[in-house]
Structures are given as structure tokens and as C-alpha cells.
Copies of this chain bind each other. A is one copy, B any other.
Amino acid sequence: MERLRCIIQYDGTHYAGYQVQPNGNTVQAELEKALKKMHKGEGIRVVASGRTDSGVHAKGQVIHFDTTLRIPASNWRRALSSLLPDDIKVEDVEVVSPDFHARYDTTGKEYRYFVWNAQEEDIFKRLYHHHVRDTLDLAAMREACAYLEGEHDFTSFCSPKTDIKGDKVRTIYQADVIQEEERITFVFRGSGFLYNMVRILTGTLLEVGRGERKASEIPGMIEARNRDAAGKTAPARGLFLWEVYYT
């Protein structure tokens, strides 16, 4: 028995999220279906670093699973990819220690959120960007980012639908806004993220960018520990789980 760790990418457009659920197609279900085929009908359980919501994409999701198949790691990638739909791709496969756990061992994650900031919508960007027509104040959004960095109780930036029972204290190592022509990229690196947190952070930063809120209001929003204090949840299509960190 070997434990394998894979880095996978997926286009979340047509999925009801990462995690297996009764209604709708999910990335996990596709992975487990492909693995079941490779294992001649034996069910293989896949564990991911965490779930992603319906419509959210991944550039570097990490999963692990156990297998009795004797395939060199270098051949796994091609074998598995050939059984997956073309919106899921295996980037890397590595044999890891049987102790490795894709969820429990994470030390942090990076998410990126892409905004297409132009007067005109571009339909060829629509699947991977949130289109924002308004002029955005980059300096104000960067000022707001500085307030978000550090260890805080992010209750205000967590969907009330969360099933997290523990505390909502997380550390944002880096929050940044990068502009390249019409594309604005929000980068969030942190110890962990709550349900909808990146989308609420982005939605709030966009309100700051539009001048609807001031950057200096961020500390008050955090202190409120109340979802209503923060901004709207930005749509799923712009969000990418970019990288998962392990020690």
C-alpha cells in the first residue's frame, strides 16, 4: 500500500464544488470515479486539502489517496489524466509517507481572485473573472489590504452557513492587489480560510475600491464579528485556489 499526493487543477465552471454531495457533479466524484476504474471497481477515497465551492477553480489543489497498484509515480499522472474529463488535470503525483494528510498537514493556502475591470464585458474572460465596470481606487484597496493582514477573528468575513464550530481566528500573511492592464488580481496567503472568506474579503475590497467604504473602516468590520459588517460576497467564477502549503 502506497500513499500518493497529487496536485490537481480544475475548471470549476460546471461543478457543484469540490466535495461529493448528493446533488450535482463534483470534482471529488470525478476523481474517485477515475480511480475506481484504475482499481478495477474497488472504491478509493480521496482526501483534499479542503473543499472549494460551486464554480470555484483550482490551480493547485492537493489531494491524497492510498493505492495497492504498482505503477511508477511518473506514469500515474498520465494514467489518471486520461480517465478524467478535460476540465480536471493532474499536475503532479508523488509517493509520500503514509503519515501525510492532505487536509491536516496544510500550513497555509494561497487564493487568487481575478477581476476584469473594464467598461466593456469581455465574454472570453467571463468564466475566470468577475467583471467590474467601475473605476477602482487601487491605493485605497491596498490600504485596506494592510488592515486585513495579521491574526484576526474573521467572523465578519465568514458565511453564517459555515459548519466550523471552533474559533474563527486566522492569520493572513499577505493580502495584495496587482493590476495588469484590465486584470486586477487579489492575492491572499494565509494560515487558513473560512467559508466564503476570500469572496467576502474581495467583495469588501471592491467596495473600498469603488469608494463605497473607506479602508480605515476595515478594523471596525473585523471587531464587529458580524457578517453584516463586511461587504458583499464576490461571485465564485473569479476565485482560484492557487496553492496549498505544507511544511
Contact = CB atoms under 8 A, between A and B. Distances in A.
Interface of A: 9-11, 57, 59, 86-89, 91, 120-121, 123-124, 126-128
B86 A126 contact: yes
A86 B123 contact: yes
A24 to B, nearest CB: 18
Contact of A123 (B87, B120, B123, B124): B87
A7 to B, nearest CB: 12
Contacts of A9: 123-124
Instruction: Summarize A's interface: helix, strand, loop or mixed.
Output: loop
A59 B124 CA distance: 9
Contacts of A128: 124
Contacts of A57: 124
15 contacts: A9-B124, A10-B123, A11-B123, A11-B124, A11-B126, A57-B124, A59-B124, A86-B126, A87-B123, A87-B126, A88-B123, A89-B121, A89-B123, A124-B128, A127-B127
Nearest to A123: B89
- Which of A10, A59, A121, A123 has most chain B Cβ within 10 Å? A123
A11 B122 CA distance: 10
